[in-house]
Amino acid sequence: MSTDDNAAGTAEEAQVEVVDTFDDTIWDTVNRTLRAVDVRPERSALDLIIHIPHADIIRGLRMLKQDADLQFNYLRCLTAVDNESEGIDVVYQLYSVPKNINLTVKTTLPNENKVIETATTVWKAANWLERETAEMFGVSFSGHPDPRPLLMPEDIDMSDTYPLLKSHPFAEIDVLQGEILGHDRDAEGEG
Amino acid sequence: MSTEIFGFDGVNVWVDGLVRVLLIVGFMTVVVMGLIYGERKILARFQQRLGPTRTGPVGLLQSVADALKLVGKEDLRPRNADAWTFELAPYLVFVPVFLGFVIVPFVLDWQVRILELGLLYFVAVTGINIVGWIMAGWGSDNRYAMIGGMRAAAQGISYELPLVLSLLAVAMVVEVPSDSATGESLRGSLNLNEIIAAQAEIPNLVWQPLVLIVFFIAALAELNRTPFDIPVGESEVVGGPFVEYSGIRWSMFFLAEYAALLIMSLIFAAVFLGGWAWPAGLFQDDPWPRWAQALLVTGKAGLFIFMVFWVRASVPRLRIDQLMSFTWKILLPLMFAQVLINGLVLVYDWPEIVLTVTGLVGVLVLVMAVDRAVRHPRPRPAPATQLEGEAAS
Amino acid sequence: MVVDTSATEFETQDLLLNVGPQHPSTHGVFRMVLEIDGELVKDLVPYIGYLHRGAEKLCENNDFRQGIGYMDRTEYLAAHNAELSYVMAVEALAEIEVPERAQWIRMILCELNRISSHFMFLGAFGVDVGVFGTPFIYGWRERERIIDLFEEISGDRMMFAYFRAGGLAWEVPLNFPERVREVLESARQGVKDFDGLLTQNEIFIARTKNVGVITADDAIEMGMSGPTIRASGVPLDLRKTEPYLQYDQISFETITADGGDVFDRYLVRLQEISQSIDLIEQCLERLEDGPIMPEKMPRMLRLPEGEVYIRTEAPRGEYGIYMVSKGGNKPHRLKVRSACLSNLQALKQMCVGQYVADAIIVLGSIDIVLSEVDR
Amino acid sequence: MRGILKSLATTLSTFSRRPVTRLYPEGHRDLPERDRAFPVLLWDKDIDEPFCTGCHACERACPVECMTVTMTDNPNHTTNDGNSKRRKIVDKFYIDYARCMRCNICVEVCNFEAIAMNNTWQGHETSVYDRADLVMDLPQLLVQSKAKQLEEWVPE
């Protein structure tokens, strides 16, 4: 279970507090691989989560893919989480086919500047996933080879609001029931 | 000018022609409706379904209902369609098929006309409908239709060859009743009645097994039937040239398709199974009564039709390049070889058993060639290694 | 495309062919624009999103029981598998221990659903290849029997809403094992029929062998999963690599093929049906009486903070649920990782350079469910 | 060619089997008791009133918000010289069948076993020409249970 992932404590505190509990994970290897990058570990219910600053994300991901002990050559999933005032997390679920290990990589983008480098240069699988994330959260992936919207209609301008942001309103639905409908059939008549 | 029809002498030729045309068209329409019903029921059985059940007892009137519906439907034409081509195309598919009926021998002496060059006439006339297919494909201003029309043209022309050669192979060795004047036994005839009469005792099936198989395959292709339904492939070009047609024009295509199926089956019965003559000739010199002949021919044609339906329920569709390779690289050489052997048999008066043996060897070669083609497929066009631009989008 | 416009040669123009969203072979509302030169595909641009309903947003606004119904609708051909990922995500976050009987029943149902989904694939694929309807009815026939069984258990034929966080919504009927065995018997017959109809048919082989090849490396790079990647020779089966439920308790081998072509994808799925039949029989032997829900389940589940990425092996590949909880009775973020979406990305790579007819069967061989792609 | 012959043999073997389809509107399949069509309300035959008290539990639990319930005082309550123990009773009840996703949650949350999923063919064959006709009101929801055409199955 998640232990302490709240952003309440500072990153350093969290690291000091948590490091001991990563014995059974691949944290040591990951940490060694990502020496050059500022990394912070965390635990999810299943996998190890590491936080990488967004400036270093592609460098970090490429190291993770190319390291001989890790070989994260398979991108399971790429998405984002809207943390409202705390910015947007972009989440990468990695898997290593040769080593059979999993890793979650997270990076936080500030709300003012939701720009991140594209991961399609690391895995081609990121292509559509990034397009989806871009149109749903307004995260722009710089250098993406094909930055069209994926799922949303082409003829609707969604540039001011993004569907999966918490601030995006629900659609108004006509409620076809009760008094609103004028459900008195006799009065309504045929037609 | 006058002629004789149904025993009435001195009938004007035009009246005579009209009566024959009306008879054929009426007869055909009814039979085609029966065929459509039959196909739906038989296919349904192959697929463990019930098939049509609603209209009439066990759905017998389904085709009638369909025909009424089609006739009542609006005849649509896309705005950008080439008007003349679009509207004329169904006639060019429909008319040649019905012209083919002129020489079809239903039973002894019951046919529209006995033509000395019957088979030649048949292949000449039915070949025209390819033009109609291309016109339909081009005139519809639809890309599916165009692809379908092009496929139809390629396929129709390619399979015309093995079809003609197979008929030729049979026609050249047919034994014509000896000329009473000279007493010489003659070989070779394009007259269907003579071809049938020559099979009174042994049908051509025995002498020409390879030709029979090639004819069946080529006929399937000519009829655009599975596995050669590439021009109309439902899952690829969604009906091909017909995709923009509706109502009566569409039903003309449909009618032509099934009428062609019927002609092919009757020609098959006549050329390979001895039409109305075999096996009657085994027991007596005179032909059987007409009703028995009709039953015989119906049964033989029905066998062909059932085979067509059966194949349709069982086999996937070929791809266009495989289709072309198959006819040009396998069927055509085999048929040339067969024609050559038939010629040798004629010239050197070899015993006819040679035909059977070589035919069976030919069948073996066909099977092996197909197996080999499947095991060693042609290398595919080089895959696109570099996907630049919108990579993998 | 190279267009030589020198005066002596004809100028040729490639044809753009729009396939879908209303086309009999796009398995729903998928659209692809083919750029063709004669019959050869030179370029392919897929368009998806016609079925986008915002399932993720809906789930973020529904509690953990209400969300199950929406999961069914993301993957309507294998709804049990979709539900499984969802409830497992909730269980992982809430640290609920699922009773053993519930796990075995879940396994049986998921495998049955895999069989029914694969039969559906075989049927639709047979039609794509061009057999008139016969494989479709064969596939439908077997699927129907399985669905009848699902209806007897859960009450619904497609949108089961039968799994719950913690276990199952209610107990299976008393004759459950016998009925499952009956269905398996008929599924065996279905496999036999398909095997006879297609596997050795020369035309089928000619159509599917060496068509739409994707290599193991490319498949991994593209993030493909399920039978589609296993046909390329990558033994990536979550039931084996990261066993969930009780998959580590039973014996089975990951089925792979090494051609990576359409035929192998067909064959892998056909063999997986037989494998699932074996699996279910093993499960039935291990099935014992017991509770189907943990004893203490709150009326309204409230999850602690945390996040989890649950992945299970659905018939089409890895069906993942990424769930972030910030407390409360609703997920803060729910992401459905769709196997079809990732598999579909590779479509262009598999189709370019092939014939138009091949593009259709390659699309068929990916076995997409558009509601899962678009969510 | 051998494979094609095998295909032909396979189809021929199915040719001889019994059809698996049936004539649908005439030949209804027996529905299992757990079959879930759309939710209907149940009728308390002993007291001759609906079980439902209009407590809004199902309305709140519905994922698609397809229900509208209002509650009223029961005129048949014992305090009013009636024979019912229900102090409150349902006044109006609307279910929009067009929106219902048949998830069974309303049945699970109901404290009075007053609602059940319809498990008859009548519940499945609800085609209408106007979507508004799919909004069922209280009499329509009760009619089947009242006429005893329903043997409901409610999970324990």
Is residue C303 a contact partner of residue C286, using CB atoms and an 8 Å limit? no
Whether B384 is in a domain gets the answer no
In a shared domain, residues B60 and B143 = no
C to D CB pairs, distance under 8 Å: 82
Residue given tokens 């609708």 in the structure block = C73
pLDDT mean over C206-210: 86
Distance CA D79, CA D76 (A): 8
* Pairwise CB contact (< 8 Å): A1 & C95: yes
Q: Could you tell me how far CA C196 lies from the centroid of its own chain?
A: 24
D5 touches chain B (CB under 8 A): no
Is it the case that residue B129 has pLDDT exceeding 80? Answer: yes
Helix (H/G/I), strand (E/B), else coil: A76: strand
| B63 and B110 both lie in a single domain | no
What count of Cα atoms within 13 Å lies in the side-chain half-sphere of residue B47? 27
- Report chain D residues whose CB lies below 8 A from the CB of C138: 14
User: Which has more confidence, D29 or D80?
Assistant: D29
Angle at C230 between CA C224 and CA C236, to 5 degrees: 75
Last residue of a domain, one of B72, B107, B131: B72
**Considering only residues 360 to 389 of chain B, which have any Cβ-Cβ distance to chain A shorter than 8 Å?**
389
**Nearest by CB: C197 against D10, D20, D102:** D10
Query: Is the residue at A4 inside a domain?
Result: no
Q: How many angstroms separate the CA atoms of B115 and B127, rounded?
A: 18
- For residues B110 and B247, membership in a common domain is answered with yes
Boundaries of domain holding B16: 1-72
Q: Which other chains touch chain A, taking contact as 3+ CB pairs less than 8 Å apart?
A: B, C, D
Tokens, residue C318: 């890895």
Radius of gyration of chain D (CA): 22
Q: What is the mean pLDDT of chain D?
A: 84
Task: Round to the nearest angstrom and report the end-to-end CA distance of chain C.
Answer: 35
Nearest CA in chain C to D62: C66
- What pTM was computed for the model? 0.88
| pLDDT at residue B349 in the model | 82
Round to whole Å and give the CA distance between D3 and C372. 35
Q: Is residue B60 part of a domain?
A: yes
SS3 C163: strand
Phi, psi (deg, nearest 5) at residue B314: -120, -20
Residue C288's pLDDT band, with cuts at 50, 70 and 90, is: confident
Contact status of B390 with chain A (Cβ, < 8 Å): yes
Instruction: Please report whether residue B386 resides in a domain.
Output: no
Same domain, B62 and B142: no
DSSP secondary structure of B286-299: SPPPHHHHHHHHHH
C85, pLDDT greater than 80: yes
Please tell me which of the candidates D1, D9, D153 has its beta carbon nearest to residue C196: D9
Q: Say which CATH number the domain at A118 has.
A: 3.30.460.80
D23 touches chain B (CB under 8 A): yes
CA–centroid distance for B43 within its chain:
19
**SS3 for A79?**
strand
* pLDDT at site B1: 56
B-D interface: how many C-beta pairs under 8 angstroms? 39
Whether residues C354 and B234 touch (CB distance < 8 A) is answered with no
Question: Which of A77, A89, A94 best probes binding to C when mutated, by most C CB atoms within 10 angstroms?
Answer: A77
- Tell me: do B216 and B82 sit in the same domain: yes
Structure confidence by residue, pLDDT tens digits, B67-91 = 888 888 888 888 888 888 888 888 8
pLDDT > 90: percent of chain D: 0
In whole numbers, what is the pLDDT of chain A averaged over residues? 76
Residue B175 has pLDDT above 80, yes or no: no
Distance CA(A136)–CA(A91), nearest Å, equals 14
Band of the pLDDT at C277, cuts 50, 70, 90?
Answer: very high
Q: Indicate yes or no: CB of C24 within 8 angstroms of CB of B235.
A: yes
A52 inside domain: yes
More confident residue, C1 or C226: C226
Give helix C262-286 / helix C100-129 axis angle, nearest 10°.
150
Q: What six digits make up the tokens of A38?
A: 């500022």
User: Using CA atoms, how far apart are residues B198 and B184, in angstroms rounded to an integer?
Assistant: 15
Residue to mutate among B47, B217, B306, with most D CBs inside 10 A, is: B47
Whether the CB of A34 is below 8 Å from some CB of chain C: the reply is no
For CA atoms A158, A164, A168, A174, give the dihedral sign: positive
pLDDT band at C49 (very low <50, low <70, confident <90, very high): confident
Q: If you count DSSP H runs as helices and E runs as strands, how many of each does chain B have, helices first?
A: 16, 4
Cβ count near B246 (within 10 Å): 15
For residue A181, give the DSSP letter. G
Q: Where are the domains of chain D?
A: 32-146
For A97, the domain range is: 11-188
Using the predicted structure, report yes or no on whether residue C115 has a pLDDT greater than 90. yes
Q: Tens of pLDDT along D98-153? A: 888 888 888 888 888 888 888 888 888 888 898 778 888 888 888 888 887 888 88
pLDDT band at residue B179 under the 50/70/90 scheme? low
Q: Give the chains touching C; criterion: ≥3 Cβ pairs < 8 Å.
A: A, B, D
| Count of domains observed in chain A | 1
- Going by pLDDT thresholds of 50, 70 and 90, the confidence category of residue A185 is very low
Helices (H), chain C: 55-60, 66-74, 79-94, 100-129, 134-154, 176-194, 202-208, 216-221, 227-230, 238-241, 262-286, 339-345, 347-351, 356-366, 370-374
Strand, coil or helix: B202 = coil
**DSSP annotation of C199:** I
Distance CA B20, CA B42 (A): 32
CB B233 within 8 A of CB B240: yes
Query: Same domain for B6 and B121?
Result: no
A170 touches chain D (CB under 8 A): no
Spell out the domains of chain C, with CATH numbers in brackets: 59-374 (1.10.645.10)
The stretch A98-126 carries a mean pLDDT of: 88
Write down the pLDDT at residue C108. Answer: 92
Number of domains in chain B: 2
Q: Give the one of B49, B310, B366 whose C-beta lies nearest to D11's C-beta.
A: B310
Hey, what are B357's tokens? 């043996």
Q: Which one-letter DSSP state was computed for residue D132?
A: G
Residue range D32-146 in CATH 3.30.70.3270 = yes
CB contact under 8 A, D68 and A181: no
What residues of C are in contact with residue D103 (Cβ under 8 Å)?
66, 68-69, 159, 161
Contacts of C151 (CB under 8 A, 6+ apart): C157, D31, D32, D34, D35
In chain D, residues with a C-beta closer than 8 Å to the C-beta of C153 are 34
Predicted pLDDT of residue C6 = 53
d(CA A79, CA A132): 8
Answer yes or no: do B240 and B363 share one domain. Answer: yes
Same-domain status, B222 and B280 = yes
